[in-house]
Chains A and B, each alone.
Chain A
Amino acid sequence: MSNIAHKIGPLAKCVLQNSRLNLWSTLTQYRFYPRPTSFPDYFQNPIFRKEDQAKLIENNELARIAAVPVKPPASYETSSVYHDPLVSKLINHVMKMGNKKLARNLVEKSFENIKRIQIERYHLASTPEEKAKIILDPKDILYKAIENSKPLLQLLPIKRGGITYQVPGPITDKRSLFLAIKWLLEATNDKERTVHFPEQFAWELLDAANNTGKVVKRKQDLHRQCEANRAYAHYRWQ
């Protein structure tokens, strides 16, 4: 009996954080070293998150890895509870000319804006049911927004008989995540000069999390075009 409870326990957790876990597998980013590096090939990537370390201990792989030399973690690779791979990815996308401090500030400021907007909504809501529906955590909003704006298909230009066909096909997780972030940022930058980035980005994220707005429409337009070109799908080869 206890065995079943042991199995169900992590499962229930999985269901709760399913969307986050799905993304984490595609988000494992490691510090990029341009070749040639000072580290030989057998140096392993650091495992810095406590959850990953716990998994290693559970699988009895820690002893094997402990003997292998490991690269040092980058400054953003931390075991802090505030570390979030998606947020750090987003900051890198927002960053221009290596100005990470500004990028981080912008993202944090837009999180603050989201929080303010959602708290205002929370206090304006009259019934407890309405209040329960409002997501107050900006990171949850971000995850939801990205999940809603990730495309399922892509159009690939394939040349057949001198004509380039736009052929619909499946998209990898990594590319769809990239497109989602790119579209969100493009939608944000398409704004009046007087509106600041954090303000607009907060609105875009809230819209996408609500499954409305420019980015979701863009995704649906892509899906529409894929549907219109479905006759060409046979041209695809892998």
Chain B
Amino acid sequence: MLKIENLHAEVATADGPKPILNGLTLEVAAGEIHAIMGPNGAGKSTLAHTLGGRPGYEITEGSVTFDGQDLLELEPHERAAAGLFLGFQYPVEIPGVSNVQFLREAANAQRKVRGQDPLSGGEFLKLAKEKAALLRMDMDMLKRPVNVGFSGGEKKRNEMVQMGILDPKFAILDETDSGLDIDALRIVGDGINAIMRSPDKAVLLITHYQRLLDYVKPDKVHILAGGRIVKTGGPELAHQLEEEGYEAVA
């Protein structure tokens, strides 16, 4: 479903472009969940942003194919409409725009690209209520401005509500587990399974900790270091990392 080959990318900084990804190769098939772990500065968030098409992240070499099409040719909003969802490590606050308006615009913009009729206000609210309940989020929070005044955990839960409403084919979740307490971690884990566990969907989970993987069982675990995948294994690799650390394992 997602095929990344020899990806090289650099990030614009005040001191000029800085190479972060150095020949990253990775393939995630439909129906699979992969975890990416790695030390700070390895390039995990850069990978997420590069796949999302964030301005300032330039690809210097390599290719990314998503569902048979060249992902890198698409604008960020076109990637979303093609079925790619990027869960943010730091979800952005947007004062003055309610969650409901934001998500309805998003859902209908995606539907328009796919040639589907827009959801009416009533249809959208029904869907939003269902997904908010799945993540045990109060509907009142959906009426508030996007992420404004939300705690770190509420922001992450809101990301998952958004994922539920937008129903993507492929989700890249960048440290969705950081900032969550134990109960919220379980709710988010259950949410990911409920929304994304399907033979025609796939997930790339970027995480620092093994704990989320207790709830969302990965098919494969990759270690990212120095901008490349240096080791790939099964779920046991995450346990080994937790015990021994990156230096010993990678």
A, B in one complex:
no
Contacts from A to B (Cβ < 8 Å) = none
